Amino acid sequence: MPLLDIRDLYSGYREVDILKGINLSVDPGEMVVIVGPNGAGKSTVLKSLFGLATVRQGSILFNGKSIVNLRSDKLVRAGICYVPQTQNVFPTLSVQENLEMGAFVRKDDFRHQVAKIYDLFPPLKEKRSQPAGTLSGGQRQMVAMGRALMVDPKLLLLDEPTAGLSPLYVEQIFAIIDDINKLGVSILMVEQNAKPALRMADRGYVLAMGTNRHEDTGPNLLNNPQIAEMFLGG
Ligand SMILES: Nc1ncnc2c1ncn2[C@@H]1O[C@H](COP(=O)(O)OP(=O)(O)OP(=O)(O)O)[C@@H](O)[C@H]1O
Ligand SMILES: [Mg+2]
């Protein structure tokens, strides 16, 4: 059974449907990447999962159960965490406080989890007392991902984690995402840096105008000349 199973999803904002019959799944342990042109509806897929877009038709199953219209704290408790495309840290709070905010649904002692996050993102440890807003873009992205990982999610939703970062940070963030996946966390990631993302993905989906255009393994999408030319920047 897939961990996440989206079937025939129609979803959007107010009266307008942006997604028009999307089908997408993520198996346990998989890394799945969504690519496609600007405005294709990639972010709307993630927002639909997290209750931030209006689902009008179709189903979204997580572990076989519907998660449509679940509150975000319920989603987090069920094991889904979401890192939005922008404004994904609390800029005036310290790095450590940002991580602690991520543990808001945990009642237990989560200090060991903070230590685990610092192991995963070593640059954050030395900056633990600094306001997150003073960090570089790449380090802020680490804080945002670290906060999501505070509850040991089963599925991590990432919206363009490398957008606007320098090439060095792009490489670092991708390497960390690969590590997180190897620790057993399933990943559904939207990426404009399509080629490196598909290189490490198990599978990828190409979306355009709110519909599925192509779906294949990462290597097959990369090696398809038509897809490369139309959607992956040649
Ligand atoms: N909150 C909103 N209210 C109304 N329309 C929205 C809202 N958010 C997005 N849209 C519209 O939905 C469409 C799809 O947007 P979406 O953000 O899902 O695209 P995307 O594929 O993530 O694009 P990008 O690559 O630019 O991030 C766009 O036409 C956008 O203008
Ligand atoms: Mg987007």
- Ligand 1 centre and the CA of 43: distance in Å? 7
Q: Which amino acid is at 140?
A: R
With the most atoms of ligand 1 within 8 angstroms of its CB, the residue from 16, 20, 44 to mutate is 44
Residues with CB under 6 Å of ligand 1 are 13, 18, 36, 38-44
The pLDDT confidence band at residue 232, using thresholds 50, 70 and 90, is confident
Q: What is the CATH number of the domain that holds 205?
A: 3.40.50.300
Predicted local distance difference test score (pLDDT) of residue 87: 87
Q: Are strands 203-208 and 31-35 parallel, antiparallel or unpaired?
A: parallel
- Ligand 1 centre and the CA of 197: distance in Å? 21
Give bridge partners of residue 17 from the DSSP assignment: 12
Whole-angstrom distance, CA of residue 21 vs CA of residue 24: 10
Residue 4 near residue 30, CB atoms below 8 Å:
no
Task: List the domain range (segments joined by +) for residue 82.
Answer: 4-231
pTM summary value: 0.95
pLDDT beyond 90 at 170:
yes
Nearest CA to ligand 1 atom 9: 44
Closest atom, ligand 1, to C-alpha of 160: 27
Rounded to the nearest angstrom, the gap between the alpha carbon of residue 40 and the centroid of all alpha carbons in its chain is 16
Q: What are 181-218's pLDDT values in tens digits? A: 999 999 999 999 999 999 999 999 999 999 999 999 99
- Ligand 1 centre and the CA of 218: distance in Å? 25
The pLDDT confidence band at residue 230, using thresholds 50, 70 and 90, is confident
pLDDT beyond 90 at 107:
no
Predicted local distance difference test score (pLDDT) of residue 234: 67
Q: What are 10-64's pLDDT values in tens digits? A: 999 988 999 999 999 999 999 999 999 999 999 999 999 999 999 999 999 999 9
Total domains present in the chain? 1
Please report how the helices 111-120 and 95-102 are oriented relative to each other, as an axis angle in degrees rounded to 10.
120
Return the closest-CA partner of residue 157 out of 205, 125, 190, 203: 190
The radius of gyration computed from the CA coordinates of the chain, to the nearest angstrom, equals: 17
Whole-angstrom distance, CA of residue 6 vs CA of residue 72: 18
The 3-state DSSP class for residue 61 equals strand
Closest atom, ligand 1, to C-alpha of 40: 21
Instruction: Name 206's Cβ contacts closer than 8 Å, sequence gap at least 6.
Output: 35, 36, 212, 213, 214, 215, 221, 227, 231
- Ligand 1 centre and the CA of 42: distance in Å? 8
How many angstroms separate the first and last alpha carbons of the chain? 35
